[in-house]
């Protein structure tokens, strides 16, 4: 039923307007969504003058909240999918988010290029599941070739003290973290990361431990120590004291 409604709305409004209206709806709903309380807790680590990175900004809903919290700082919003990026740009204009710098590339462990896909099933585009195409993967959808960079190679970040990173890149988190090793070791930002219970999670945990971080999850009241097997998908990585 939910996908049927999405299909009708995407056909009725057109894909771009549908995305924009959905983004506006989610901007209003997010603080009241129990599924997003982990992200709302991330905001407690962000101060008004901070510089933060939103890796996988998608349609800009979380970018909006990061920009509001770091209202005198800087938000580097990274989103490689052109259709998603257009919505972020509209939100930036609508809400006058002048502290957001939108960047058009994917993030990985090397600098080069990547092929991404916006999955499509039964005529419905799933913008939130856009991801780097894995070797041998066969998924229907819209393909797009995009530049790829290591976070350590992003010149726009030079001169900023990064205090927090939101990372949601659909099973490419480990590669993104590898490409940010210098940033993590030298600046020690809080990292908020979506990790499904897959090999990607295990690799990400091992890597973050190797660079001096411990994993935590939010229980609705406070953070508690996490293990690889913790039945959650949103993790906080904090530098060990």
In tens, the pLDDT along 154-175 reads: 999 999 999 999 999 999 999 9
**How does DSSP assign 46-102, residue by residue?**
--TT-EEEEET-TTSHHHHHHHHHTTTSEEEEE---HHHHHHHHHHHHHTT-TTEEE
Q: Using DSSP, state whether 10 is helix, strand or coil.
A: helix
Question: What is the rounded average pLDDT of the residues 75-101?
Answer: 97
- Tell me the CA end-to-end span of the chain in Å, nearest whole number: 48
CATH for 198 = 3.40.50.150
Q: How many domains does the chain contain in total?
A: 1
pLDDT, tens only, 10-42: 888 788 998 999 999 999 999 999 989 999 999
pLDDT, tens only, 171-182: 999 999 999 999
Q: Is residue 112 part of a domain?
A: no
Domain of residue 219: give its range.
Answer: 29-107+152-239
Q: Is residue 9 part of a domain?
A: no
Residue 126 is predicted with a pLDDT of 82
Residue 1 is predicted with a pLDDT of 63
Query: Above 80 in pLDDT, residue 136?
Result: no
Q: Is residue 133 part of a domain?
A: no
Q: Is residue 16 part of a domain?
A: no
Q: Is residue 115 part of a domain?
A: no
Query: Above 80 in pLDDT, residue 241?
Result: no
Q: Is residue 173 part of a domain?
A: yes
* Confidence (pTM): 0.94
Q: Is residue 77 part of a domain?
A: yes
Q: Is residue 7 part of a domain?
A: no
């Amino acid at each position: 039923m939910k996908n049927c409604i999405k299909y009708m709305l995407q056909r009725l409004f057109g894909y771009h307007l549908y995305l924009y209206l959905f983004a506006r709806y989610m901007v209003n709903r997010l603080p009241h969504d129990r599924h997003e309380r982990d992200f709302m807790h991330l905001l407690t680590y962000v101060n008004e003058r901070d510089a933060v990175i939103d890796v996988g900004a998608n349609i800009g809903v979380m970018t909006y909240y990061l920009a509001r919290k770091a209202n005198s700082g800087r938000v580097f919003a990274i989103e490689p999918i052109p259709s998603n990026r257009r919505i972020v740009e509209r939100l930036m204009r609508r809400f006058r988010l002048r502290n957001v710098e939108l960047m058009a590339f994917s993030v990985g462990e090397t600098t080069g290029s990547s092929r991404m896909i916006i999955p499509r099933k039964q005529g419905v585009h799933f913008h939130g599941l856009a991801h780097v195409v894995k070797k041998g993967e066969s998924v229907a959808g819209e393909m797009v070739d995009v530049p790829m960079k290591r976070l350590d190679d992003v010149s726009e970040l030079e001169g900023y003290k990064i205090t927090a990173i939101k990372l949601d890149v659909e099973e490419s988190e480990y590669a993104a973290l590898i490409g940010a090793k210098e940033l993590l070791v030298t600046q020690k930002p809080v990292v908020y990361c979506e990790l499904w219970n897959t090999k990607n999670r295990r690799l990400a945990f091992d890597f973050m431990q190797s660079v001096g971080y411990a994993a935590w999850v939010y229980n609705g009241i406070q953070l508690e120590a996490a293990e690889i097997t913790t039945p959650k998908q949103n993790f906080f990585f904090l530098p060990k004291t």
